[in-house]
Amino acid sequence: MASGEKKSNQSRPSGKPSPSHTSREEAPDTDAIREAKDRGAELLAKGKLEEALSAFQELVKLAPQEPAHRQKVAEVLQRMGRKPEAIAEYTAAAEAWARTGWLMRAIALCKLILQLDTGHSRTQALLADFYARRANTRPSGDEAPPAAALSTRPTLAPSPGQAPQGQPTSFFSALEREEFLEVLARLERKLFQPGQQIVREGEPGTSMFVIVEGSVEVVRQLDDGQSTTVARMGEGEFFGEMALVTEGPRLAGVVATAPTVLLELSRDRLEEVITHHPSLGEVVQQFFRERLLTNVLRSNPLFAELPEELRQPIKAAFTPLTAKQGEQILTRGQPSQALYLLLRGRCEVFHEHVDGRETPYPKMVEGDVFGEIALLRSRLVTASVRAATPCALLKLEREAFEQLLSQHPQLRQQLELLGSERRERTARLLSGRTVHHGDARV
């Protein structure tokens, strides 16, 4: 799909402007625009570059406010080897995308320009100008306030008209100017074709990706070897961010479902920036922890029924924790001091008999909660838990746990139900009856 064409799926992030920016007052000839666009695409597919260029240049004249048309002209010029002209058109398109609030598209084009001309000063100045725009992308295309007004570190919370919390622009809005420019300098532009694998499940995660154009599917392997699509993502969304804050295998694969442009930020490159700006590490941890917690609590049956005002204090009370493969997290018969939420990896749950034999329970997977039985009943841990893979967890200390329960009785009810299910499961398992994986909540 050509950049900026209308899409019928749900991938476009809410609060973003439509990629068609032609003024209503101009009353463009929509039939002529459609005809020029179709003709240009057909000619380009046939390799008739000169004719395709003429068609797209006509398109720019018909709708001069539409950045996507100028970008298409630049792409054809680049294919024709007319680099200076292509750079000029890419630059104009990047400036137009930035003016109309599509910051990620503008950044991606700037990265492309710098691949063509590493010393292109106008593009470097444009990237610097994005700092003043990064927290003020509005559908109306209003100008950003002076950079002087942004001299202190901004909050991570979005302001009216800004991209919602968790979108890339809200991450960039939390950066100081030098941090922002250094992060931009380390972004890499990547292009993937439909069906091409972007990341593979089980491989080490080393980077995060922002979708600039196109769409992807998130795919996971089931126990029977079959794969299933668990999510579809589109322009303005991002994935793989856990790799920036913790090492571990990818929990899912990601495949392009359309011609897709991505911006990639690797953990190594981010750490280079953090070396120069140590406070950035805290911003990264805070931002992605907030995003991850929001996703986990929203999808976890234990917390999903709670209203947002109750989930907020729960998120604030959790602290991050990592466990190496084989590390024991809970030991049967010992006091439990915390509730755990598994963010990443797999944990083995087992009953250790007096003779040393182990009876396995269904494994804990991403999103599972454990340790609640001992905390709720002031008893010893009823089953041992150890990390089957490197794991990232969230830990809720007993004092914070008890305070939350006293303030939010709905949470106690949910945990009591989960604890009851697990006690019944333990009784069936120890009596020799089959325990199905469906008995454990995810």
Query: Along the 442 residues of the chain, how does pLDDT read in single tens digits?
Result: 444 443 444 444 444 444 444 444 455 678 889 999 999 999 999 999 999 999 999 999 999 989 999 999 999 999 999 999 999 999 999 999 988 888 889 999 999 999 999 889 889 888 888 887 765 543 333 333 333 322 333 333 333 333 333 455 567 777 888 998 899 999 999 999 999 999 998 888 899 999 999 999 999 887 677 888 888 999 888 888 878 877 777 878 999 999 999 999 999 999 999 999 998 888 887 787 777 777 777 766 667 766 777 777 777 788 878 889 999 999 988 887 888 888 778 899 998 888 888 888 888 877 788 887 777 766 788 889 999 988 888 888 888 887 777 777 767 776 766 656 655 655 554 454 443 333 222 1
Q: Which two tokens stand for residue 387?
A: 């990390």
pLDDT computed for residue 146 by the predictor: 31
The structural domains of the chain, with segments of one domain joined by +, span 24-141, 189-278, 301-439
Beta carbons of 272 and 281 less than 8 angstroms apart: no
Strand order in the sheet with 227-234: 197-199, 253-256, 215-221, 227-234
Phi, psi torsion values for 253, nearest 5 degrees: -95, 160
Which CATH number is 189-278's, of 3.40.50.2300, 3.40.50.740, 2.60.120.10, 3.40.190.10? 2.60.120.10
Residue ranges of E strands in 168-325: 188-192, 197-199, 207-213, 215-221, 227-234, 238-239, 253-256, 260-266, 319-323
Distance CA 304, CA 369 (A): 13
Please, are residues 218 and 254 in contact by the beta-carbon 8 Å criterion? yes
Query: C-alpha angle with apex 360: 362 to 382, nearest 5 degrees?
Result: 90
The architecture (CATH level 2) of 24-141 comes to Alpha Horseshoe (1.25)
Cross-strand partners of 341: 369, 394
Same fold, 189-278 and 301-439: yes
Give the sign of the dihedral formed by CA 118, CA 123, CA 125, CA 129: negative
Q: Starting from the edge strand earliest in sequence, which strands make up the sheet with 384-387, in order?
A: 328-330, 384-387, 347-352, 358-360
In this structure, are strands 188-192 and 260-266 parallel, antiparallel, or unpaired?
A: antiparallel
pLDDT of residue 426: 53
Cβ of 159: how many Cβ atoms within 10 Å? 12
Please state the φ and ψ torsions of residue 352, each to the nearest 5 degrees: -95, 120
CA max distance for the chain: 84
Superfamily of domain 301-439: Jelly Rolls (2.60.120.10)
Q: Are 80 and 48 in contact (CB under 8 A)?
A: no
Cα–Cα distance, 280 to 270 (Å, whole number): 9
